[in-house]
Chain A
Amino acid sequence: MDVDERTTADHVGLQEKTITVTVNGNSYQRTVPVRRSLVDFLREDLGLTGSHVGCEHGVCGACTILLDREPIRACLMFAVQADGTELTTVEGLTWGEELHPIQQAFWDHHGLQCGFCTPGFLLTTYDFLREKHGATEPEIREALSGNLCRCTGYQGIVRSVQAADETWER
């Protein structure tokens, strides 16, 4: 059925919804179309363009953020589904003007080249290292397997995560 041709009276549910989300500690209230993805909401409605939109079907991991402390693909959720949740994006990782130890490790160990995939890698690493100390290389590679990088060949990224494992006091 082509829903574009429906009149307002035909609609059975919502096409727009007002939602309240907490992003990096700040509360936002916005009215959004129900089919707007969470990552588009972050970028276009809130201006938080750190989360990147890559494949838009859950393969590349560039849009990885934390939703209620769990790492998720922000391209595979609708913004309306995030109503009432707490999100962390790469903008929330930085300690004020100072880079987070994970970011510093990526800087120090060539964990990025073009940087497109980096926000996703940072949040994935944050989630992984929060629970894990003394990670082995196979464990790191498995933890990062849901994020794609087309520049570095992953060597630098794995080294960065190993370094952050040592430097991040948690």
Chain B
Amino acid sequence: MKPAPFDYLAPTGVEETLDVLQEYGDEAKVLAGGQSLVPMLNFRLARPAVLVDLNQVAGLDGIQAEDGALRIGATTRQRSLERHVSSRPAGGPEDLLRQALGYIGHPQIRARGTVGGSLAHADPAAELPAAVSALGATLVIRSAEGTREVPPEEFFEGFFTTSLAADELLTEIRLPPWPEGTRGAFLEVSRRRGDFAQVAVAAVVTVADGRITRAGLAVAGAAPSTVQAHSVVDGLVGSEPDTGVIAELAGNFAAQLDPPPDTHGPAEYRRHLARHLLQRAIAQATGLAGPRAASAA
């Protein structure tokens, strides 16, 4: 037996789940796909008194596509989303998800891992936090007290930390439709296929009448949490796509990153990856470059 003892609750409804979270608060830990939490339990890095299993809760999973927008239930399996987006037409948030989801672990991980679980876990090197940040998602959070909707920058607070309170549950992820002329690119470098990113970049850019009208850019793996490249966005919006400008903005942004050095390389290496992946992702998302295999980085 690996995990420390816990009491197991498997509520079947959302309201019931919220009541349980309100009652047990910090004593409880929510179990979604378990691909990060169960290793932590097995290593006894987490020892919750109460484990609240979301897998029996009705109405928390499922994908709804409507007028180009996408609503994803928090317990939707990553592999279900992968299958869904692979069959959808181009020109919407599905494009970015199609590129990003294959980088998450392996088929066996994606078969259990959930979209909301990955976001709530907030691993700084995970793909989905970067993807939803670039996509301008709205995260729907519920508690017994009510519902609030927050953008990613008010959700991801730091290293494995979100703004979710102990009695709150992430219930849904809403992705807005893409305006005409929008493209997305998700690029990642990791040591091995399926590993967390050393650096990953998500870029969503809209070009209208030859000018960039809006952009969402997020970088994973180069800071204590997913970061949005606001300075690059500000520099791009209003201008014509230009490789020189993109390189300068990406370089300036990457130079300010302070990623922790680890066994896979010094901080400078991750800054280097951030700069180049940003440049390439923006070039692809503005139509200046075609897609290329990330392994060529």
Interface residues of A (CB under 8 A from B): 1, 3-4, 11-15, 17, 33-37, 40, 56-58, 61, 64, 67, 70-73, 75-78, 80-81, 124, 127-128, 141-143, 145-146
Contact = CB atoms under 8 A, between A and B. Distances in A.
A75 B41 CA distance: 11
Given A4-B5, A14-B7, A33-B1, A73 B108 contact: yes
Contacts of B27: 1
B198 to A, nearest CB: 16
B118 to A, nearest CB: 14
**Residues of B in contact with A, size category:** 35 or more
16 contacts: A1-B27, A1-B49, A3-B6, A3-B7, A11-B7, A12-B50, A13-B50, A37-B38, A37-B42, A71-B107, A72-B108, A72-B112, A75-B42, A76-B34, A124-B107, A146-B107
A57 B42 contact: yes
Contacts of A1: 27, 49
Contacts, number: 106
Contacts of B5: 3-4, 15, 35
Residue from the set B1, B8, B79 with the largest chain A CB neighbour count within 10 Å = B8
B6 A34 contact: yes
Contacts of A12: 7, 9, 24, 50
A91 B193 CA distance: 29
B1 A13 contact: no
Interface of B: 1-10, 24, 27, 34-35, 38-39, 41-43, 47, 49-51, 53, 55, 79, 105-109, 111-112, 192-194
A71 B111 contact: yes
